[in-house]
Amino acid sequence: MTLATARPAITLTDTLPPVTVDERHRLLTAPRTAEAHRALMAEVPAMSMVQTGGTASASQFPATLSVVAWNVERCLFPEDSAAHLASHAPDIVLLSEVDHGMARTGQRHTTAVMAKAMGMAYAYGVEFHELDLGGPTERVFCTDDFNALGWHGNAILSKVPFESVTLIRLDDHGHWFSEAAGADPEQPRLGGRMALAAVVPTDAGPLCVVSTHLESNSGSDHRARQMQILLDGIDAFAPGMPVLIGGDLNTGNHVPPDFDWRGEALFAMAEERGYSWTFTAEGMTTRPSLITPHPTRVMKLDWFAGRGLTPLDRAVIPSLDANGRPLSDHDAVWCRAGVTPL
């Protein structure tokens, strides 16, 4: 699994252009092959764009930051999810599985809603363009029988403006599109796993923060290759800079499943390149939710990896609201980190 084409230039925008009627027709009728997928990726402009917006509330971070990484599982409840994080007063929030223009989340731009509620700027990148409404447990939440935009992706929220932002694609072969890759016929998608990286100013110098989401429908070797692409991309974007990566790495989500994260090759790979996993609290990070009602499936999927930083504190934040309702099938991970001056 490698990226077969040159990395496209990433464009920043305040609005992601929708898929046109002609583009959608080609997506629905194209052969389900890796080659067709790569061609379609190049045709849809939003797949090489990062949307930015929101309003920052500060100009620069101190040398110590509070950071949350959370897979919000479509983000059914963006205002409640924002309020749920308030006690941890995050400076940075790294989100994955956030919808934008999907029927199951009321056609809302859930990242923008969370950012507004938290007084933060945001960057949003498309992981997938979803060609249908989602799986059976998601369809009960649909407000329409169509998606206004069909975007699903990752985001970074920040209290300070971004100095620079990029999108790093981790595959382009159509793992959820190509029949040869084992695509799920109930969830046809254009796109692939990706990361957003942003540089933010701190009193100790610039810091690179990264929100990522690795493949679930694969094994350790596949995710290790994605991690290698990610680390190479970070080095090209922010050479020599302190880095904090956070997200759902799907560790232990093997095919066939065994849910044991300890043998994942990506851990040693990152350590060999100067990263530490000590920013991540002990404990599992999944739970049954409204979309994923699996009471016996408990996994440790969510992590921080840092370089050029000092871990000061860490926790797992349960994703149950005050009434016991699960906001996601993932608990959030939180850390406080100190930036080492360059």
Where do the structural domains in the chain lie, given as residue ranges? 11-339
287 Cβ contact list (under 8 Å, min separation 6):
298, 318, 319, 320, 326, 329, 330, 331
Whole-number Å distance between alpha carbons of 102 and 156: 19
Question: What average pLDDT does this structure show over 213-240?
Answer: 96
pTM as predicted: 0.96
Strand order through the sheet with 243-248: 164-169, 194-202, 205-213, 243-248, 302-307
CA distances to 33, 69, 94, 156, 162 from 211, in Å: 28, 8, 5, 6, 14
Quick one: how far is CA 138 from the chain centroid?
19
Whole-number Å distance between alpha carbons of 78 and 105: 9
Q: Is residue 324 left, alpha or beta, with left meaning phi > 0 and alpha meaning psi from -120 to 50?
A: left
Question: What average pLDDT does this structure show over 60-75?
Answer: 98
The CATH number, out of the four listed (2.20.25.10, 3.20.20.20, 3.40.50.300, 3.60.10.10), of the domain defined by the range 11-339: 3.60.10.10
User: Which tens digit of pLDDT belongs to each residue from 282-312?
Assistant: 999 999 999 999 877 899 999 999 999 999 9
Are the C-beta atoms of 160 and 56 separated by less than 8 Å?
Answer: yes
Which pLDDT does position 7 carry in this prediction? 66
Which pLDDT does position 29 carry in this prediction? 92
Which pLDDT does position 88 carry in this prediction? 94
Whole-number Å distance between alpha carbons of 130 and 191: 9
Checking if the pLDDT of 258 tops 90, the result is no
Are the C-beta atoms of 70 and 104 separated by less than 8 Å?
Answer: no
